[in-house]
Amino acid sequence: MLNNLEVGLYVFMLATFVGLEVIRKVSPLLHTPLMSLTNAISAISVVGAILITGREGASDLSKILGFIAITAAVTNIVSGFLITDRMLKMFKRREVKK
Amino acid sequence: MGYIYILSAALFILSLKWMNHPPTARRGVFAGEIGMLLAVVGTLVGGHIVNWTWVMAAVTLGSAIGVPIAYIMPMTAVPQRTAMSHACGALAAALVGTAEFYAGQHEPGRLTAMMMVPLILETLLGYLTFTGSLMAMGKLQEVLPSRPITYKNQNVINAVLFAIAVALGVRLIMVPTDTLLFPIFAGLALLFGVLLIIPIGGADMPTVIALLNSYAGLSACAMGFALDNNLLIVAGALDGSSGLILSIIMCKAMNRSFTNVLFGAFGQVQAAKATGEQRNYRSASAEEAASILEAAQSVIIVPGYGLAVAQAQHKIRELYDNLTRRGIDVKFAIHPVAGRMPGHMNVLLAEADIPYDKLIEMDEINGEFPQCDVALVIGANDVTNPAARTDKSSPIYGMPILDVDKAHTVMVIKRSMSPGFAGIDNDLYYMDKTLMLFGDAKAFVSEIVKELPAKAAA
């Protein structure tokens, strides 16, 4: 059986290759929205922050640090997704008549 | 809970895949949102949460800050916002690592080397990306000088600092109970982040922002290893590889290496050279510029950072409309590093409703310059400098440029003759076919537009 670290490293390796392949194809036109999208996705660290703040027996220090971490990550998630969508709405083709 | 995380990871990958092309991109954002929602709800429901007040208060506060940021932020401030969100993401990762470290002190045997290695990486990357991104944000907002700040032995001092931080990190991995060492370690990481970014100049910001993006992702990824959570590893790795690819693209577009961007403060050596002999150039008025544009059949507009500073994108749209109505073919040539972050110009021009199929990448448009009647350069400088092709002694020699000098007529809107960021004189300005249009980009373009309709009526 694989231990957790080995599983983790496999996941990391595969995800990196998938990431490299998928992102290489993104048109340069969309590099800015791409960056704000990946930014929102990397705010997945909110999961870790919630776990550490919310678990039973968390110390006050954990709660305070976790509170700031959740706030920062949720700010990223919310503003990241919304602003990406706002940007993408602006990309129009010519057919759209003025 | 584990199954929900797998679904959410799949949605993140789909989200990036749909991001490849403009027509499916918004679907990509939607997939990402659902993935994130699943992950958060899954964690709240299945994560044995007891301190609900703390968690919900933080989620509410974060949303209350995030929504106004997303809607109020003007598109010209997108680079700053991106730097700020790198800072937020990195801070979150670093704080979680810190909390985990102190919480682990109460459970003997929890902080094994397998736990400490990713934890130290997470906090190191997290803290240095946090301050580094704040510096980048300061430079982009021009609170801090965007010129490189350098001092003697800079690289040596940085290297020594970094080595100490790494050494402390290794010591912490071996002796995780040394709680006094941790704040020093964190402090050094924070300081190193500042020192790493201050010598980097404004024109290198696209690369640096992409690199910080990658660091923020990797730090989330390290958190995944520390917390034994594969979803964090996947999302972090996606972000890390995205940042990496973008910074490689940016480096290639400037013909420079990573190390050169990070350690070779640009624009210092050349500053002296720029004060050379006076050379002759021709300047023209808005009226003349308008009549040249009117007589043209094809026009290529080359936007640069000056356009963003002057917020001229809507005026350019008026010019675009006006010329297109006369049957003139208007295209935009986008250099990969134009502006202050990857894709900056595309977003600004899209904001002004310019159709994205008119925004052409460098490699595609370069072949069209020789057939083009007028190339109108607005606020771009180094990316049009023919010295990059011809002059081996030039600091930007070898950098891929837009072949603006091959157009029949070149017009350059610029505030003055002062050299650009890199401090290099641009030979383009002294060519016989080049007309310099002095003024603020926005004001000048609107003057040209004003001159145009009068002629149409006649």
By Cβ distance, the residue of B48, B220, B341 closest to A45 is B220
| Contact at CB, B231 and A44, closer than 8 angstroms | yes
The verdict on B335 and B257 lying in the same domain is no
In a domain, B155, yes or no: yes
End-to-end CA distance of chain B: 72
In a domain, B272, yes or no: no
The verdict on B68 and B91 lying in the same domain is no
- Per-residue pLDDT tens digits for B172-184: 998 888 888 999 9
**Average pLDDT score over residue span B364-368:** 89
The verdict on B68 and B193 lying in the same domain is no
- Per-residue pLDDT tens digits for B7-21: 999 999 999 999 988
The average confidence (pLDDT) of chain B is 86
Chain A nearest CA to B53, separation (Å): 9
In a domain, B300, yes or no: yes
The verdict on B57 and B98 lying in the same domain is no
Largest CA-CA distance found in chain B, in angstroms, rounded: 88
| Contact at CB, B232 and A89, closer than 8 angstroms | no
The verdict on B92 and B212 lying in the same domain is yes
| Contact at CB, A56 and B50, closer than 8 angstroms | yes
The verdict on B13 and B135 lying in the same domain is no
- Per-residue pLDDT tens digits for A12-65: 999 999 999 999 888 888 888 999 999 899 899 999 999 999 888 888 889 999
- pLDDT of B454 reads 58
Q: Who wins on pLDDT, B62 or B426?
A: B62
Q: Residue B329: what are its φ and ψ, rounded to 5°?
A: -85, 115
| Contact at CB, A81 and B233, closer than 8 angstroms | no
In a domain, B271, yes or no: no
DSSP letters for A48-67: HHHHHHHSTT--HHHHHHHH
The verdict on B12 and B161 lying in the same domain is no
Spatial strand order of the sheet with B282-283 comes to: B282-283, B434-438, B409-414, B374-378, B298-303, B329-334, B359-361
Structurally, chain B folds into a number of domains equal to: 3
- Per-residue pLDDT tens digits for B104-144: 888 877 788 888 999 999 999 999 999 999 999 998 888 88
The verdict on B105 and B248 lying in the same domain is yes
Pair type for strands B409-414 and B374-378: parallel
- Per-residue pLDDT tens digits for B88-98: 999 999 999 99
Instruction: Look at residue B374 and give its three-state secondary structure.
Output: strand
From residue A13, give the alpha-carbon distance in Å to each of B15, B117, B238, B403.
Answer: 19, 18, 10, 40
Q: Give the domain range for residue B299.
A: 282-457
The verdict on B325 and B430 lying in the same domain is yes
Domain of B379, CATH number, reads: 3.40.50.1220
DSSP H helical segments within B177-263, as ranges?
Answer: 181-197, 205-227, 230-253, 258-263
- Per-residue pLDDT tens digits for B316-341: 998 998 888 888 999 999 998 888 88
Comparing C-alpha atoms, which of B334, B189, B112, B51 is closest to residue A32?
A: B334
- pLDDT of B217 reads 92
Concerning whether B391 is annotated as a catalytic residue, the answer is: no
Cα angle value B191/B197/B201 (rounded, 5°): 155
- pLDDT of B263 reads 64
Question: Could you tell me the residue ranges of all domains in chain A?
Answer: 28-90
The verdict on B418 and B431 lying in the same domain is yes
Cα B398 → chain centroid: 22
pTM for this model (two decimals): 0.87
Q: Which of residues 15-74 of B touch A (CB under 8 A)?
A: 15-17, 19-22, 25-26, 28-29, 32-33, 35-36, 39-40, 43-44, 47-52, 54-55, 57-59, 61-63, 65-67, 69-71, 73
By Cβ distance, the residue of B12, B346, B356 closest to A41 is B12
Dihedral of CA atoms A11, A38, B190, B111 in degrees, nearest 10, equals: -30
- Per-residue pLDDT tens digits for B228-280: 899 999 999 999 999 999 988 888 888 777 777 666 554 444 443 444 456 77
Catalytic-role residue among B382, B403, B405, B427? B382
HEC profile of B293-350: HHHCCEEEEEECHHHHHHCCHHHHHHHHHHHHHCCCEEEEEECCCCCCCCCHHHHHHH
| Contact at CB, A40 and B32, closer than 8 angstroms | yes
Q: Quick one: pLDDT band at residue A1, thresholds 50, 70, 90?
A: low
DSSP H helical segments within B73-204, as ranges?
Answer: 78-104, 113-140, 154-174, 181-197
Cα B89 → chain centroid: 16
Cα angle value B398/B400/B403 (rounded, 5°): 115
- pLDDT of B455 reads 54
Q: Which residue has the tokens 């991995």?
A: B173
Q: Which of B72, B94, B118 is the last residue of a domain?
A: B72
Q: Which of B72, B106, B123 is the last residue of a domain?
A: B72
Q: Which of A73-82, A85-94, B219-228 has the lowest mean pLDDT?
A: A85-94
Please tell me the distance from the alpha carbon of residue A30 to that of residue A27, in angstroms, as a whole number.
6
The verdict on B353 and B433 lying in the same domain is yes
- pLDDT of A94 reads 57
Q: Quick one: pLDDT band at residue B423, thresholds 50, 70, 90?
A: low
- pLDDT of B422 reads 57
Q: Which residue has the tokens 């991109």?
A: B25
Q: Which residue has the tokens 């310099």?
A: B436
In a domain, B195, yes or no: yes
Cα angle value B366/B243/B127 (rounded, 5°): 140
In a domain, B444, yes or no: yes
Please tell me the distance from the alpha carbon of residue B148 to that of residue B151, in angstroms, as a whole number.
10
Please tell me the distance from the alpha carbon of residue A13 to that of residue A31, in angstroms, as a whole number.
24
Please tell me the distance from the alpha carbon of residue B151 to that of residue B135, in angstroms, as a whole number.
17
The verdict on B14 and B34 lying in the same domain is yes
Q: Which of B38, B57, B72 is the last residue of a domain?
A: B72
Tell me which chain A residue has its CA closest to the CA of residue B206: A32
